[in-house]
């Protein structure tokens, strides 16, 4: 092993912990090893819950104002290390540096938002039907929370869970994706610097996700599982959580329809689909996955879309000209290529954008698939890549029917200038998030989450606090 590069232990009970083995973290744009990280197992998983449980007894008894102050200090520490954090995201995940900087700001906005929400965890009194009784309702933290997070937003998917958990008075054990553990450890370092007490935040890095998460799922001291990732894994976690009736929040896969109504501003629609489709190389759960354009405006839309596609640059995220970085791994490349081949075999026409310079890396050029039909894999399965299938529709009812014809229900988009169409679509689309002329709706102030098999619960907004709180009814007989 090259001793010159980064070597990091886990962060448990305020200390750096090694487990004997290490696993490598590689740059998806160059295949270079950027660091080695401790490969935790069941012992470290247990240690983390022990630490979080001990810390919960004190952290949960702090006032909301004390917890808010700690979160504000964490926010400040992250703000001061934004560039370092952003560069780590680009190194281990590949996204363009400008997007990585944006992710740190987005991640930090949850810490700022929930530092404020901590002070607004209101209870209530309810008029009793008996004159000799008084009814109180209090909200209390659920306890130790286990967070299992993905590689596509290695910072934001952690703070979107940890910030409300800490604000509510919970403590956390985190298992980041093995592809992007270094960002998670840097966030923990910022929390340590900010003075968040030992045991409140714990990070267990591992190449054996199931071994670590099974310890947490079986431990009755862990009261909640919060997960972002594939629907397949989300279902497995939900099933295992049932054994100890843990609370569960799931942000799972999407299959976002992007509908362009007959009256839409075509240039605005093209700009919107470029932002939604190609952000993070298409590796977001809310990316436009299926583009439905009214048949009467298909040609001008495709022409404008093709021009915009050709302006994209594929390359290393550290190069200022890069719009699309690498995908996360070989399996992602194979999955995306498979969907493209399937579409072409079923009659789609591929309009390919610029290739990456010939060099290493999990690069794939962006592509529009014109003439897409709903039987194609790219129209039925989450792509997680820079592929834009375009299909036409004749009327709004058809567009809604086809958009809803999926087990997924995370995000949907509609571009129109008509108020009537805006309300028709937004009220009839079966999705937790509907962007009306807005391709980038995600923000800390708003509830983010899916319907159907795209998940359970909401992250962000005041709703994000409820996921980490128990509602206690206190009845007093006078
Ligand atoms: N909704 C979203 O934001 C995301 C959706 N995905 C979808 O999932 C597909 C596969 O991507 P992956 O990164 O492989 O997602 P994944 O669901 O396999 O991984 C997400 C997290 O779950 C962990 N994990 C995996 N298997 C586990 C198990 N059996 N028990 C406990 N934890 C486990 C991983 O280590 C990672 O931390 C993507 O192509 C995409 O379609 C992936 C990442 C984020
Ligand atoms: O998991 C994801 O892909 C993110 O939640 C998407 S967003 O929050 O950055 O829009």
Query: What is the DSSP code string of 290-323?
Result: EEEEEGGGHHHHHHHHHHHHTT--BS-TTSTT-S
Q: 185 is written with which tokens?
A: 């450890």
Contacts of 81 (CB under 8 A, 6+ apart): 186, 190
Report DSSP state, residue 448. B
State the Cα torsion 409-411-412-415 to the nearest 10°: 170
Q: For the chain, how many residues are written? A: 478
Strand partners for 380: none
Residue 442: nearest ligand to its CA? 2
Rounded Cα–Cα distance for residues 248 and 219 (Å): 14
Rounded Cα–Cα distance for residues 466 and 461 (Å): 10
Measured over all CA atoms, what is the biggest interatomic distance in the chain, rounded to whole angstroms?
Answer: 80
The number of the ligand 1 atom at minimal distance from the alpha carbon of 251 is 1
Has residue 2 got a pLDDT over 60?
Answer: no
CB 52 within 8 A of CB 144: yes
Mean pLDDT to the nearest integer, 350-378? 94
> If DSSP states are collapsed to H, E and C, what string results for 169-194?
CCEEEEECCCCCHHHHHHHHHHHHHC
- Please choose from 152, 286, 332, 413 the residue to mutate so as to test ligand 2's pocket, defined by most ligand atoms within 8 A of CB: 286
- Residue 184 CB burial class (10 angstroms; 0-12, 13-18, ≥19): buried
Expressed in angstroms and rounded, the spacing between residue 284 Cα and the centre of ligand 2 is 5
Return the SS3 of 408. strand
Report DSSP state, residue 206. -
CB 398 within 8 A of CB 372: no
Residue 440: nearest ligand to its CA? 2
The number of the ligand 1 atom at minimal distance from the alpha carbon of 328 is 13
Percent of residues, the chain, with pLDDT higher than 70: 99
Return the SS3 of 19. strand
Ligand 1 touching residue 180 (CB < 6 A): no
Contacts of 331 (CB under 8 A, 6+ apart): none
Expressed in angstroms and rounded, the spacing between residue 443 Cα and the centre of ligand 2 is 10
Ligand 1 touching residue 230 (CB < 6 A): yes
Percent of residues, the chain, with pLDDT higher than 90: 98
- Please choose from 214, 215, 230 the residue to mutate so as to test ligand 1's pocket, defined by most ligand atoms within 8 A of CB: 230
The residue whose CA has the least distance to atom 6 of ligand 2 is: 284
Report DSSP state, residue 21. B
pLDDT band at 4 (very low <50, low <70, confident <90, very high): low
Q: For ligand 2, which residues put their CB under 6 angstroms from it? A: 152-153, 157, 228, 251, 284-286, 442, 448
Ligand 1 touching residue 457 (CB < 6 A): no
Residue 443: nearest ligand to its CA? 2
pLDDT tens digits, 6-34: 999 999 999 999 998 999 999 999 999 99
Catalytic residues, by residue number, are 251, 285
Output the pLDDT for position 318. 97
In degrees, rounded to 5, the angle at the alpha carbon of residue 205 between the alpha carbons of residues 148 and 28 is: 90
pLDDT tens digits, 436-472: 999 999 999 999 999 999 999 999 999 999 999 999 9
Residue 210: nearest ligand to its CA? 1
Mean pLDDT to the nearest integer, 378-406? 98
Ligand 1 touching residue 215 (CB < 6 A): no
Q: What is the ipTM of this complex?
A: 0.94
The residue whose CA has the least distance to atom 30 of ligand 1 is: 210
* The CATH number of domain 6-252+454-477 is 3.40.190.10: no
Q: 352 is written with which tokens?
A: 């390919």
* 345 sits in which H/E element: helix 330-345
Output the pLDDT for position 432. 98
Query: What is the DSSP code string of 84-127?
Result: HHHHHHHHHH---HHHHHHHHHHHHHHHHHHHHHGGG---EEE-
Mean pLDDT to the nearest integer, 346-363? 92
- Please choose from 218, 229, 387, 448 the residue to mutate so as to test ligand 1's pocket, defined by most ligand atoms within 8 A of CB: 229
The residue whose CA has the least distance to atom 1 of ligand 2 is: 285
pLDDT tens digits, 78-128: 999 999 999 999 999 999 999 999 999 999 999 999 999 999 999 999 999
CA distances from 414 to 23, 77, 397 (A): 44, 39, 13
Ligand 1 touching residue 93 (CB < 6 A): no
Average pLDDT, the chain: 97
Expressed in angstroms and rounded, the spacing between residue 449 Cα and the centre of ligand 2 is 10
The number of the ligand 1 atom at minimal distance from the alpha carbon of 252 is 1
Expressed in angstroms and rounded, the spacing between residue 464 Cα and the centre of ligand 2 is 15
pLDDT tens digits, 173-222: 999 999 999 999 999 999 999 999 999 999 999 999 999 999 999 999 99
The residue whose CA has the least distance to atom 5 of ligand 2 is: 285
Would you list the domain boundaries of the chain? Answer: 6-252+454-477, 257-436
Q: 312 is written with which tokens?
A: 């994209």
- Residue 369 CB burial class (10 angstroms; 0-12, 13-18, ≥19): buried
- Residue 365 CB burial class (10 angstroms; 0-12, 13-18, ≥19): middle
Closest by CA position to 143, among listed 224, 64, 231? 224
Rounded Cα–Cα distance for residues 79 and 159 (Å): 13
CB 230 within 8 A of CB 218: no
Output the pLDDT for position 106. 98
Rounded Cα–Cα distance for residues 173 and 185 (Å): 12
Expressed in angstroms and rounded, the spacing between residue 454 Cα and the centre of ligand 1 is 13
CA atoms within 13 A on the CB side of 71: 34
Expressed in angstroms and rounded, the spacing between residue 131 Cα and the centre of ligand 1 is 54
Ligand 1 touching residue 213 (CB < 6 A): yes
Expressed in angstroms and rounded, the spacing between residue 287 Cα and the centre of ligand 2 is 9
User: Out of 158-172, 266-280, 354-368, which region has the weakest mean confidence (pLDDT)?
Assistant: 354-368
Side by side, the strands of the sheet bearing 6-8 are 6-8, 33-38, 22-26
Q: Could you say which of 3.30.360.10, 3.40.309.10, 2.130.10.10, 3.40.190.10 is the CATH number of the domain covering 257-436?
A: 3.40.309.10
Rounded Cα–Cα distance for residues 275 and 440 (Å): 7
């Amino acid at each position: 092993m090259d001793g010159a590069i980064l070597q990091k232990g886990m962060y448990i009970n305020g200390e750096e912990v090694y487990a004997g083995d290490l696993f490598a973290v590689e740059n998806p744009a160059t295949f270079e090893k950027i660091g080695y990280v401790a490969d935790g197992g069941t012992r470290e998983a247990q240690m983390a819950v022990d630490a979080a449980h001990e810390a919960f007894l004190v952290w949960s008894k702090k006032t909301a104002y004390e917890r808010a102050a700690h979160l504000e200090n964490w926010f400040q520490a992250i703000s001061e290390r934004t560039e370092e954090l952003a560069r780590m995201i680009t190194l281990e995940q590949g996204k363009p540096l400008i997007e990585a900087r944006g992710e740190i700001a987005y991640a930090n906005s949850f810490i700022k938002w929930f530092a404020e929400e901590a002070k607004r965890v209101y209870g209530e009194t309810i008029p009793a039907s008996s004159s000799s009784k008084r009814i109180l309702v209090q909200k209390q933290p659920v306890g130790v929370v286990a967070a299992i997070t993905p590689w596509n937003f290695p910072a934001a998917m952690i703070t979107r869970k940890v910030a409300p958990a800490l604000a509510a008075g919970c403590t956390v054990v985190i298992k980041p994706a093995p592809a992007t553990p270094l960002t998670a450890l840097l966030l923990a370092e910022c929390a340590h610097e900010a003075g968040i007490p030992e045991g409140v935040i714990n990070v267990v890095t591992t190449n054996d996700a199931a071994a670590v998460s099974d310890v947490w799922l079986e431990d009755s001291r862990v009261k909640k599982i919060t997960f972002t990732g594939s629907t397949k894994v989300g279902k497995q976690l939900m099933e295992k959580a049932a054994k100890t009736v843990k609370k569960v929040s799931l942000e799972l896969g999407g299959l976002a329809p992007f509908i362009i109504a007959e009256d839409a501003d075509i240039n605005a629609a093209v700009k919107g689909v470029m932002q939604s489709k190609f952000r993070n190389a298409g590796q977001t759960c809310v990316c436009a996955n299926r583009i439905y354009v009214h048949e009467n405006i298909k040609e001008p839309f495709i022409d404008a879309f093709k021009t915009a596609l050709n302006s994209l640059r594929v390359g290393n995220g550290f190069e200022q000209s890069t719009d699309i970085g690498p995908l996360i791994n070989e399996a992602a490349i194979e999955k995306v290529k498979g969907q493209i081949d399937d579409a072409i075999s079923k009659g789609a026409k591929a309009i390919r954008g610029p290739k990456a310079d010939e060099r290493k890396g999990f690069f794939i050029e962006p592509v529009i698939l014109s003439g897409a039909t709903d039987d194609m894999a790219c129209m039925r399965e989450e792509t997680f890549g820079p592929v834009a299938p375009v299909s036409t529709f004749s009327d709004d009812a058809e567009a809604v029917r086809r958009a809803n014809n999926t087990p997924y229900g995370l995000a949907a988009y509609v571009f129109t200038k008509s108020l009537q169409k805006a309300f028709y679509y937004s009220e009839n689309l079966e999705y937790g998030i509907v962007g009306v002329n807005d391709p980038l709706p995600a923000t800390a102030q708003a509830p983010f989450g899916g319907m159907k098999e795209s998940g359970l619960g909401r992250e962000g907004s005041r709703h994000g606090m409820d996921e980490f709180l128990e509602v206690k009814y206190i009845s007093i007989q006078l």
